[in-house]
């Protein structure tokens, strides 16, 4: 009896399938949508990997600053490309050594750059230790991949006075991939400033470091601008020699194929650099050194210029023009 009932149910289902064919299969697949011809290009996995290495960066220039220039590093010979390649791969620590005068020795300006670069590219390569004027500016490495940013400034130094065997050994012992050289303020305070002597001192310092660190890249920076007294007790005036120092540095960089970040002209140059700093209350009382906010602003500006240069490198690689 049960067997006959099962046969009847099977026959009934077969009849329903014939009458309602939609019951015998799932809904038909929808057609593929038409190709979207308004979207951008579709990149392969390698190209997308490159695209993802762009680092966003915001403009840091105060809107009240007058006669400013675009905040960029000048590197026409692409001397920094090997550094950008190391950073983009980041399979080992990438070491930056920032040397200079009291602007660097104060630690605030380069420390701001250090922390921002660690956020961009990873800070696992160093211990997270706060840096102040009373501490060393040297980073404590962990051995992990990431940015290692050492700060080595000497109050009152020039390229010439920094070029001691001890300082050169200390820089070399840090094994830099990049050396940032921030001098010029004290050269400009010499009332008998000589461009030829300045060029010779830059050449001596760079040659000594290059001899000990043959694989390092170099980035020159120009001074931010300062005031001097007109006579011993006279009023302060914009230091007229700063523009000469900056011109010497730019000519030296151009003739030796070096990258340079021209902070002085970027923030207003001969006519407005000092006035812009002063109007923003970024100077200390001596009108040579800067407040904490002033130095942090300089750090933001240098970081912005570094990231723009790095992104230019990434774009070049994406376009297939790199090496």
177-220: per-residue pLDDT in tens? 999 999 999 999 998 999 999 999 999 999 999 999 999 999 99
Quote the tokens at residue 254: 């151009």
Instruction: Assess contact for 125 and 144: CB atoms under 8 A.
Output: yes
Query: So what's the pLDDT on residue 273?
Result: 98
Average pLDDT score over residue span 51-73:
91
- Confidence check: pLDDT of 39 > 80: no
Query: So what's the pLDDT on residue 251?
Result: 98
Average pLDDT score over residue span 124-150:
96
Can you tell me the distance from the alpha carbon of 71 to that of 61, in angstroms, rounded to the nearest whole number? 8
The model's pTM is 0.83
Beta bridge partners of 146: 93
- Confidence check: pLDDT of 44 > 90: no
- Confidence check: pLDDT of 20 > 80: no
Contacts of 12 (CB under 8 A, 6+ apart): none
Of residues 46 and 236, the one with the higher pLDDT is 236
- Confidence check: pLDDT of 11 > 80: no
Of residues 48 and 213, the one with the higher pLDDT is 213
Instruction: Assess contact for 154 and 105: CB atoms under 8 A.
Output: yes
Query: So what's the pLDDT on residue 60?
Result: 96
Can you tell me the distance from the alpha carbon of 137 to that of 220, in angstroms, rounded to the nearest whole number? 19
Cβ neighbourhood burial of 262 (10 Å; 0-12, 13-18, 19+): buried
Q: Please give the backbone phi and psi of residue 172, each rounded to the nearest 5 degrees, phi first.
A: -65, -35
Query: So what's the pLDDT on residue 317?
Result: 86
Query: So what's the pLDDT on residue 46?
Result: 42
- Confidence check: pLDDT of 233 > 90: no
Query: So what's the pLDDT on residue 37?
Result: 44
Average pLDDT score over residue span 116-128:
95
User: Rounded mean pLDDT of the chain?
Assistant: 88
Q: Are strands 236-238 and 227-229 parallel, antiparallel or unpaired?
A: antiparallel
At 48, the pLDDT band (50, 70, 90 cuts) reads very low
Query: So what's the pLDDT on residue 53?
Result: 81
């Amino acid at each position: 009896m049960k067997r006959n009932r099962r046969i009847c149910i099977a026959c009934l289902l077969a009849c329903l399938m014939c009458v309602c064919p939609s019951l015998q299969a799932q809904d038909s697949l929808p057609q593929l949508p038409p190709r979207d011809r308004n979207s951008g290009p579709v990149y392969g996995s390698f190209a997308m990997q490159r695209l993802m290495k762009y680092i966003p960066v915001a403009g840091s220039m105060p809107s009240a600053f007058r006669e400013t220039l675009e905040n960029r590093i000048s590197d026409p010979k692409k001397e920094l490309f090997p550094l950008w390649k190391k950073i983009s791969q980041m399979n080992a620590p990438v070491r930056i050594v920032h040397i200079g005068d009291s602007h660097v020795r104060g630690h605030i300006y380069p420390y701001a750059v250090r922390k921002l670069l660690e956020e961009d590219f990873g800070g696992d390569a160093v211990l997270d230790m706060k840096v102040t004027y009373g501490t060393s500016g040297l980073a404590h490495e962990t051995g992990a991949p990431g940015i290692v940013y050492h700060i080595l400034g000497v109050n009152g130094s020039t390229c010439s006075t920094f070029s001691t065997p001890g300082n050169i050994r200390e820089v070399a012992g840090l094994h830099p991939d990049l050396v940032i050289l921030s001098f010029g303020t004290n050269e400009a305070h010499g009332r008998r400033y000589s461009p030829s002597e300045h060029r010779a001192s830059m050449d001596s310092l760079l040659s000594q470091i290059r001899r000990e660190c043959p694989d390092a890249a170099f980035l020159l920076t120009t001074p931010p601008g300062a005031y001097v007294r007109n006579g011993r007790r006279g009023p302060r005036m914009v230091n007229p020699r700063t523009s000469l120092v900056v011109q010497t540095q730019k000519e030296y960089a151009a003739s030796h194929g070096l990258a340079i970040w021209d902070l002085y002209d970027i923030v207003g140059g001969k006519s407005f650099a000092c006035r812009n700093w002063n109007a923003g209350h970024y100077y200390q009382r001596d009108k040579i050194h800067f407040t904490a906010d002033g130095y942090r602003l300089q750090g933001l500006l240098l970081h912005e210029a570094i990231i723009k240069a790095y992104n230019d490198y990434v774009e070049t690689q994406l376009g297939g023009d790199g090496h």
